[in-house]
Amino acid sequence: MSANKYKTPAFVTSSDDDEAGLAAAAAADADPDRHALPTGKPPKEDLRSTAAAGAGAAGTGFKTSDGIAFNLIPNGKRRITVRRFSGKKYVDIREFYDDDSGELKPGKKGIMLNEEQFTALLGMADNIRNALQKI
């Protein structure tokens, strides 16, 4: 069997026996986040409060659990999210809905563009703008 590939943080040091080590250990025990496992993601509460704070401003980016989102309209029902999926970067333009608990959830209506497709869309922006003016 191979060695354990997961490394755990070392909380116990050789200085725990002396007074300085005990004081440091007591201070660390007072920290409520000390025992939280590192996940690489911010806690969900932080994500919700950040998303709620950004929900009012159209065009202002805010961090979500999926990536960085921008509200297309002020109420936050249509979002543009820059995210990674399967190791590739995408721009996801999607409608959201309120579920039973009141949280915004991604809906079926939307499109996810890879970097190449998004760059092509930006290259057509002037032509699209001109077409909108002619119609």
Segment among 2-6, 29-33, 48-52, 130-134 with least mean pLDDT: 48-52
**Range of the structural domain that residue 118 is part of:** 44-134
Domain count, the chain: 1
In-domain check, residue 122: yes
Of 73, 77, 53, the residue nearest 64 (C-alpha)? 53
- Residue 72: which pLDDT band, with cuts at 50, 70 and 90? confident
Burial of residue 50, with CB atoms counted within 10 A of its CB: 0-12 exposed, 13-18 middle, 19 or more buried: middle
CATH number at residue 70: 2.30.31.10
Query: What are 116's two structure tokens?
Result: 């190449």
pLDDT digits (tens, 9 = 90+) for 84-135: 999 999 999 999 888 999 888 888 999 999 999 999 999 999 999 999 999 9
Q: Is 59 helix (H, G, I), strand (E, B) or coil?
A: coil
